[in-house]
Structure 1
Amino acid sequence: MSNKFKITTISVDHNFISVFSEESYEQIMRGGMILTDRINAQNLRLRMSEPGYSTDWHVAGDATLIIIQKGTLRITLQNNKYKEFTTGDSFIAKDYLPQEINFAHNIHGHKAEVIGEAPLFATHIKLG
């Protein structure tokens, strides 16, 4: 078994363009469980979105762990690459822009859409 927990992320490259990447967390054995160290969080929100819901281009701003409870969410980047996250999947959205860079809808961010016939149920955990 791997000693790292890997999770897909939406982050930014050196030009602050949103990209898919992967983050790894060390795991330790504790009381019969394999756990990562504590990851601080600020708040939790429960989400429901109807089929067909979509966003415009945006950045997460604050790192947010999103856990898909039911349904399918497609995340598309400006380069048209996309990933679909479905029941049981999770990812961290943490793309952002520094204050001195103005958001440009044709350059920055990602968009999200609920695909398929089922509504999306997800948990959003704002990381600290």
Structure 2
Amino acid sequence: MTMLTQSLLYTDADGRARWRDEALPLAEAAPGVRLSALSASGGVQWRSSPVGFKSDFHCTTTPQWLVVIQGRMEIGLQDGSTRIFGPGEYFYSNDTLPAGATFDPALHGHRSRQVGDEPLVTLFVRS
């Protein structure tokens, strides 16, 4: 069985955003290709971010897949780690605010920024 590796951004038990990589089985077969199981979605949204775009720390409000179409995007976590995603790369953003918590920008969420000299174009697919 063929697998893809997908990056998942999630909220850990301590309330902090963390990364986890998981295997995505491509078990559905068609001539010449392997497919994942079909996933439901709650709509799509496109975003264009200019050169220099950056956000403060925030939580994902609705779990969603984020696919970089153009440019490069850096995601930074509270622990100082970063990951950069380029065209064709994607991750699942599910670092939502823990139930009953009040957002604390020194504890919760992630920040994002456009990297390089090309505007950032992303596709959000809500789950």
- 1:1-128 maps to which residues of 2 (within 5 A)? 3-32=2-31, 33-127=33-127
Distance (whole Å) between structure 2 residues aligned to residue 75 and residue 100 of structure 1: 25
Which one-letter code corresponds to 1:4 in the other structure? M
Deviation at 1:28, TM superposition (A): 1.5
Deviation at 1:23, TM superposition (A): 2.7
For the residue of structure 2 that corresponds to 1:20, the secondary structure is strand
Q: Tell whether the 8 Å contact from 1:72 to 1:85 is kept in structure 2 after alignment.
A: yes
Distance (whole Å) between structure 2 residues aligned to residue 66 and residue 52 of structure 1: 19
Distance (whole Å) between structure 2 residues aligned to residue 42 and residue 23 of structure 1: 22
Give the TM-score taking structure 1 as reference length.
0.92
Identity of aligned residues (%): 20
Distance (whole Å) between structure 1 residues aligned to residue 114 and residue 11 of structure 2: 23
Deviation at 1:74, TM superposition (A): 0.3
Count of aligned residue pairs for this structure pair: 126
Which one-letter code corresponds to 1:14 in the other structure? A
Q: What 5-or-longer segments of structure 1 have no aligned partner?
A: none
Distance (whole Å) between structure 2 residues aligned to residue 41 and residue 62 of structure 1: 12
Give the TM-score taking structure 2 as reference length.
0.92
**Cα displacement string for residues 39-59 of structure 1 (whole angstroms, at most 9, x for unaligned residues):** 110010111100110111111
**Cα displacement string for residues 41-93 of structure 1 (whole angstroms, at most 9, x for unaligned residues):** 00101111001101111111321111111100000000110000011111111
Q: What 5-or-longer segments of structure 2 have no aligned partner?
A: none
Which one-letter code corresponds to 2:23 in the other structure? S
Distance (whole Å) between structure 2 residues aligned to residue 14 and residue 61 of structure 1: 18
For the residue of structure 1 that corresponds to 2:43, the secondary structure is strand
